[in-house]
């Protein structure tokens, strides 16, 4: 443990890393403030530019974007009733009414303090829970990993708001995409269509840039004529002692809720914020204030959505199971830098892991000051015309994709998946399940093959492994549980 703490503390003496965290925190806040971007799009755009960095610096950039953009969505949610990210949607319920009463500074103060506490709490839990879970994961063999991956795929039903069936379809499509390229055991080519560049399969980076960034660009094209409302804000004020007395129980409760939900595969900050808000209302003595400008409602949503960011890193780093689009991108960043997620990451690369944790902690502290003293400036960034913003995003998409392998095919992949993601989203399909399915598809195939080798082709012996059975039962309940419960309820 002393080594881990020393590794976390070492980042304080790394001036380059501190500057990188500072710059990326500013960028993350800007990304979070701009409606339509968000942490997932921002991480997808920056991923190719992190490939030449040192592993710790690269993952620090992605995680800092994650935590800072998640917080920053609350700025426009409060000021112009437009959440910068989906995780800030619940913040609009009370943040905007409070701003309309001339108390925007108070609302932003509550949001930034609750967000910081939630983020720091979740990083502390991450530091404690991840190594503990890693020790348990040492017992995992191919059958257990196969069952765990199936469980992760089953949780795609709730990863986004597109609906369970559509999310599962997207996940299955992602798994199919993972089969493109040469089969690892026999070397047989699958769906390469004569392109030798696809022999190793689809590269994650151009696919993710297309699915998240390019498709968002196309979705936002229909809002070219929208004009943002000017923002009037004198200063962001710190919450009063009375506010702290009102919200401290709510903040602690939402910290626990957000971290727990973040740890669950396929859940995330958006779900956490909604539950944090509803639980804040449930336990409040002033329920009549909710929806009219309750500081408890703001604190409940913001503490929960930021706590979910640290929690979501637990399954991502320990099990290789991403819980959202952003953590899927972070997982890709880990893999391309040789940081293979799993229990060995916490024994063979302890310093690297805890430096990343330390960087997340520093990022949470940095956006506390930015939120309090620079919110007025950041809020006005949302007034940037989309006709200027999205051509820049398009250029970054193309440059990022081409810089990976200097291949025109990668640019075509970005374009193709951008169009695919656009039509998918127009018809109610979320793109996150496709991305997660692409990542987990290789794990499913590899661990199933290894399991069959263990059992000499007798696949049913997988069900003789207790832990594997537990995950498969959970997968079944995750998919069929709501339907069975509804049937039983209707019969009763």
* pLDDT at residue 84, as a whole number: 65
Q: pLDDT category, 236, cuts 50, 70, 90?
A: low
Query: What tens digit of pLDDT does each residue of 259-313 get?
Result: 887 877 655 677 788 778 888 888 888 877 887 788 888 888 888 888 888 888 8
Q: What is the mean pLDDT of residues 355-384?
A: 74
Q: How many residues does the chain have?
A: 492
* pLDDT at residue 331, as a whole number: 87
pLDDT: which is higher, 137 or 444: 444
Is the per-residue pLDDT at 98 higher than 70?
Answer: yes
Q: pLDDT category, 3, cuts 50, 70, 90?
A: low
- Average confidence score pLDDT of the chain: 80
Q: Residue 290 and residue 293: Cα distance in Å, rounded?
A: 6
Say which residues have a Cβ less than 8 Å from residue 266's Cβ, sequence separation at least 6: 152, 155, 156, 157, 158, 159, 323, 324, 436
- Other C-beta atoms closer than 10 Å to the C-beta of 158 total 19
* pLDDT at residue 362, as a whole number: 87
Is the per-residue pLDDT at 258 higher than 70?
Answer: yes
* pLDDT at residue 267, as a whole number: 54
Share of the chain above pLDDT 90, in %: 3
* pLDDT at residue 425, as a whole number: 86
Q: Whose CA is closest to 301, among 324, 283, 275, 323? A: 275
Of 76-85, 239-248, 347-356, give the lowest mean pLDDT range. 76-85
C-alpha angle with apex 307: 140 to 302, nearest 5 degrees? 155
Q: pLDDT category, 100, cuts 50, 70, 90?
A: confident
Global pTM reads 0.76
Q: What is the mean pLDDT of residues 250-266?
A: 82
Q: Is 270 helix (H, G, I), strand (E, B) or coil?
A: helix
Q: Whose CA is closest to 209, among 377, 86, 55, 41? A: 41
Q: Are the C-beta atoms of 243 and 292 separated by less than 8 Å?
A: no
Q: Which two tokens stand for residue 277?
A: 């808000």
pLDDT: which is higher, 477 or 156: 477
Q: What is the mean pLDDT of residues 17-44?
A: 83
User: 260 - beta bridge partners?
Assistant: none
Q: Which two tokens stand for residue 285?
A: 């003595």
* pLDDT at residue 159, as a whole number: 56
* pLDDT at residue 96, as a whole number: 81
Q: Are the C-beta atoms of 210 and 420 separated by less than 8 Å?
A: yes
* pLDDT at residue 402, as a whole number: 82
- Other C-beta atoms closer than 10 Å to the C-beta of 2 total 6
* pLDDT at residue 173, as a whole number: 92
* pLDDT at residue 417, as a whole number: 92
DSSP secondary structure string for all residues of 259-316: HHHHHSTT--HHHHHHHHHHHHHHH-S-GGGTTS--HHHHHHHHHHHHHHHHHHHHHH
Q: pLDDT category, 78, cuts 50, 70, 90?
A: confident
Cα 102 from chain centroid (whole Å): 33
Q: Are the C-beta atoms of 67 and 367 separated by less than 8 Å?
A: yes
Domain boundaries, the chain: 2-141+201-408
Q: Residue 272, by phi and psi: left (phi above 0), alpha (psi -120 to 50) or beta?
A: alpha
């Amino acid at each position: 443990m002393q080594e881990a703490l020393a590794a976390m503390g070492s980042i304080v003496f790394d001036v380059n890393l501190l500057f990188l965290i500072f710059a990326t925190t500013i960028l993350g806040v800007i990304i979070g403030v701009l409606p339509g971007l968000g942490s997932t799009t921002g991480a997808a755009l920056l991923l190719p530019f992190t490939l030449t960095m040192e592993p710790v610096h690269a993952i620090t950039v992605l995680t800092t974007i994650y935590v800072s953009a998640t917080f920053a969505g609350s700025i426009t949610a409060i000021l112009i009733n437009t959440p910068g990210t989906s995780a800030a949607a619940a913040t609009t319920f009370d943040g905007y009414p409070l701003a309309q009463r001339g108390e925007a500074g108070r609302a932003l103060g509550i949001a930034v303090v609750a967000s910081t506490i939630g983020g720091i709490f979740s990083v502390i839990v991450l530091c404690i829970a991840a190594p503990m879970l890693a020790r348990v994961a040492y017992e995992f063999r191919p059958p257990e990993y196969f069952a765990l991956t199936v469980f992760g795929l089953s949780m795609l039903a709730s990863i986004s708001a597109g609906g369970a069936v559509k999310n599962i379809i997207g996940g299955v499509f992602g798994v199919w995409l993972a089969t493109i390229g040469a089969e690892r055991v026999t070397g047989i080519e699958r769906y390469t269509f004569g392109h030798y560049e696809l022999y190793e399969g689809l590269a994650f980076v151009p696919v993710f840039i297309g699915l998240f960034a390019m498709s968002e660009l196309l979705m936002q094209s229909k809002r070219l004529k929208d004009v943002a409302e000017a923002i009037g804000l004198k200063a962001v004020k710190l919450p009063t002692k009375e506010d702290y007395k009102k919200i401290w129980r709510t903040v602690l409760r939402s910290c626990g809720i957000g971290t727990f939900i973040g740890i669950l595969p396929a859940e995330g900050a958006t779900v956490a914020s909604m539950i944090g808000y509803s639980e804040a209302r449930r336990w409040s003595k002033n329920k009549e204030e909710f929806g009219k400008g309750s500081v408890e409602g703001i604190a409940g949503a913001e503490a929960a959505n930021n706590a979910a960011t640290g929690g979501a890193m637990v399954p991502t780093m320990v099990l290789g199971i991403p819980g959202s689009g952003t953590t899927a991108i972070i997982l890709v960043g880990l893999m391309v830098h040789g940081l293979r997620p799993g229990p060995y990451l916490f024994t063979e690369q302890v310093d690297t892991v805890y430096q990343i944790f330390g960087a997340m902690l520093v990022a949470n502290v940095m956006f506390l000051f930015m939120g309090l003293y620079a919110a007025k400036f950041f809020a006005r960034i949302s007034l940037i015309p989309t006709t200027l913003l999205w051509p820049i995003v398009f250029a970054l998409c193309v440059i990022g994709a081409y810089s990976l392998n200097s291949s025109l095919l990668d640019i075509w992949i970005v374009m193709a998946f951008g169009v695919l993601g656009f039509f998918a989203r127009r018809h109610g399909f979320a793109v996150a399940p496709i991305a997660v399915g692409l990542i987990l598809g290789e794990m499913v195939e590899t661990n199933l093959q290894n399991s069959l080798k263990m059992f000499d082709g007798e696949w049913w012996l997988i069900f003789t492994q207790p832990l594997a059975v537990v995950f498969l039962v959970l997968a079944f309940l995750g998919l069929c549980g709501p339907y069975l419960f509804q049937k039983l309820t209707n019969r009763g």
